[in-house]
Amino acid sequence: MSETSTTTRSAELYELAAHHLAGGVGSGTRSPRSGWLPVPVFAQSGAGPILTDVDGNEYIDYVMGQGPLILGHRPPAVTDAVVDVLRERGSLFSLAHDLEAQAARAVCERMPGVDLVRFGSSGTECVQYALRFARAFTGRELIVRVEGHYHGWSDTIHWSAHPSRETWGPPDHPAVTPESTGMAPGAGDSLIVLRWNDVDGLEAAFADYGERIAAIITEPILGNCGAIMPAPGYLERMRSIASDAGALLIFDEVLTGFRIGSGGVQGLTGVTPDLTVVAKALGAGYPVAAVGGSEAVMSLPADGRTMHGGTYNSNVLVCAAVVAACAETGRPGFYETLNARGERLAEGLVAAARAAGLDACWSGVGAMFQLWFSPAPPGDYREAHAIAARSPFFALHAYLRAHGVLIQPPQEGLFLTSAAHTDEHIDQTLAVAADAMEAVAAAVDRGDVGARGGLR
Ligand code: PMP
């Protein structure tokens, strides 16, 4: 682990990249705008929980590819399965093959709400299919979505994901706010935006528009705004309100599926959605996503009434990755160990912060959590936004990055752990954190608080 990191080579590569790569990075989340200051980390390689950058700095990595790397970097079982298939069979046929059904079975066996599944290459894409299937199944148009949740970048849903204070509207009637320029102007018209954990808002929306609502879509643990847990009974109420109105419930488990427990949030809570989207940890680092649900709904793509396609869908490489990754994550005790280690890290960070005189708490589960410099975690996006606005979180990120621990810079990000993080890595991280919290306390004393860029 590096003592203090240098960024010389990253800076050079960043400047060079910008000649041809728009903004010098491949995604907004990797840019200085998202808090990667002074320059983005240019990765060289990863092994287990360790990321090495082009300057030779080694980090204990809690970015974990933004979630997919549930087994760490280059897990041998998955790497071998993918390389073997590539050498012996090829990368892509865009024809039927045996590994598709094996990968599909792995998803259906694990996710309680999924009887049948289809694959795609990204979470964004499979969310689109979920919305389409819901509209086709119900013959209705409106979608209820929740402020602060991220469901991908498409025109149909990328509204009110991370709105500004100026645009978000009244708390009992949040505005439908575009998250990008260039989106189809009418695309937000079929959305109703609510606040997370707001049962009254849900009831009011269904009282007003119930017969026109095709679906509620939600991240069942809010991972794109820290890790905000559903209040007791909230998901259950969501389920019953949707069912009573003949609307579908869609769980976007892109982050939580195959990460927080064997059966995602639906397995943890017993609340079964009609449609589920999974991605990220499903493929342990390979670009694969899936949309699945009840037989009744999934008969739509099955018999071709509702279109689902894609050249790269369930190609042999990603299917080999899914089968190999699920064999690993399906081992007895896998999630218990993962979550226990993550929880120990979260508790240790809170203790270190408090020892330095800071208010601190954490939210989420061990595999996916956030640390808050506040007495209590937020209950929704607006509360998270208020905490972030006066949070010294960036000082924590900067100190850790300079001392061999990598976390996402925004307060609304996450600590993401993997099975490759051992107790020793947790101990090493906590040793760095003890000093980091002194630096954070000094930042607070200087008034050096507030966000340095959002999630994207
Ligand atoms: N839904 C959720 C909950 C996500 O976290 C993400 C990605 N962070 C997406 C959808 C979009 O997935 P992708 O980046 O694979 O398009």
pLDDT at position 425, please? 98
Buried b / exposed e along 355-387 (16+ C-beta atoms within 10 A): ebebebbbbbbbbbbbbbbbeebbbbbbbbbeb
> Given the structure tokens 């209590």, which residue do they identify?
376
Tokens of 453: 């860029």
Residue 68 CB–ligand 1 contact under 6 Å: no
Residue 221 CB–ligand 1 contact under 6 Å: no
Atom of ligand 1 nearest to the CA of 219: 3
Domain with CATH 3.90.1150.10 in the chain: 8-74+333-445
pLDDT at position 167, please? 95
Residue 252 CB–ligand 1 contact under 6 Å: yes
> CB–CB of 241/235 below 8 Å?
no
* Nearest residue (CA) to ligand 1, atom 1: 151
Best mutation site among 255, 312, 318, 412 for ligand 1 pocket (most ligand atoms within 8 Å of CB): 255
CA of 151 to the centre of ligand 1 (A): 6
CA of 118 to the centre of ligand 1 (A): 17
* Nearest residue (CA) to ligand 1, atom 12: 123
CA of 224 to the centre of ligand 1 (A): 9
Residue 124 CB–ligand 1 contact under 6 Å: yes
Distance CA 161, CA 456 (A): 10
For the chain, which ranges sit under pLDDT 70?
1-3, 454-456
CB atoms near residue 335 (< 10 Å) = 24
H, E, C per residue of the chain = CCCCCCCHHHHHHHHHHCCCCHHHCCCHHHCHHHCCCCCCCCEEEEEECEEEECCCCEEEECCHHHCCCCCCECCHHHHHHHHHHHHHCCCCCCCCCHHHHHHHHHHHHHCCCCCEEEEECCHHHHHHHHHHHHHHHHCCCEEEEECCCCCCCCCCCCECCCCCCCCCCCCCCCCCCECCCCCCHHHHHHEEEECCCCHHHHHHHHHHHHHHEEEEEECCCECCCCCECCCCCHHHHHHHHHHHHCCEEEEEECCCCCCCCCCHHHHHHCCCCCEEEECHHHCCCCCCEEEEECHHHHHHHHCCCCCCCCCCCCCHHHHHHHHHHHHHHCCCCHHHHHHHHHHHHHHHHHHHHHHCCCCCEEEEECCEEEEECCCCCCCCHHHHHHHHHCCCHHHHHHHHHHCCEECCCCCCCCEECCCCCCHHHHHHHHHHHHHHHHHHHHHHHHCCCCCCCCCC
CA of 265 to the centre of ligand 1 (A): 16
Burial of 185 (0-12, 13-18, 19+ CB in 10 A): exposed
Residue 219 CB–ligand 1 contact under 6 Å: yes
pLDDT digit string, tens, across residues 1-36: 445 779 999 999 999 999 999 999 999 999 999 999
**Of 420, 448, 442, residue with least CA distance to 334:** 420
Distance CA 256, CA 281 (A): 8
The domain defined by 76-329 folds into Aspartate Aminotransferase; domain 2 (3.40.640)
**Of 302, 301, 413, residue with least CA distance to 64:** 413
Q: Are strands 50-53 and 116-120 parallel, antiparallel or unpaired?
A: unpaired
pLDDT at position 2, please? 46
pLDDT digit string, tens, across residues 283-298: 999 999 999 999 999 9
Residue 279 CB–ligand 1 contact under 6 Å: yes
163 Cα distance to chain centroid: 18
Residue 259 CB–ligand 1 contact under 6 Å: no
Known catalytic residues are: 150, 252, 280
> What is this structure's pTM?
0.98
pLDDT at position 456, please? 55
Residue 127 CB–ligand 1 contact under 6 Å: yes
Domain with CATH 3.40.640.10 in the chain: 76-329
Q: Under 8 Å CB-to-CB from 373, ≥6 apart: which residues?
A: 353, 358, 359, 360, 387, 391, 392, 393, 440, 444
Query: Torsion angle of alpha carbons 163, 169, 174, 179, nearest 10°?
Result: -30
CA of 442 to the centre of ligand 1 (A): 35
CA of 444 to the centre of ligand 1 (A): 33
Atom of ligand 1 nearest to the CA of 149: 3
Note the CATH number of domain 8-74+333-445. 3.90.1150.10
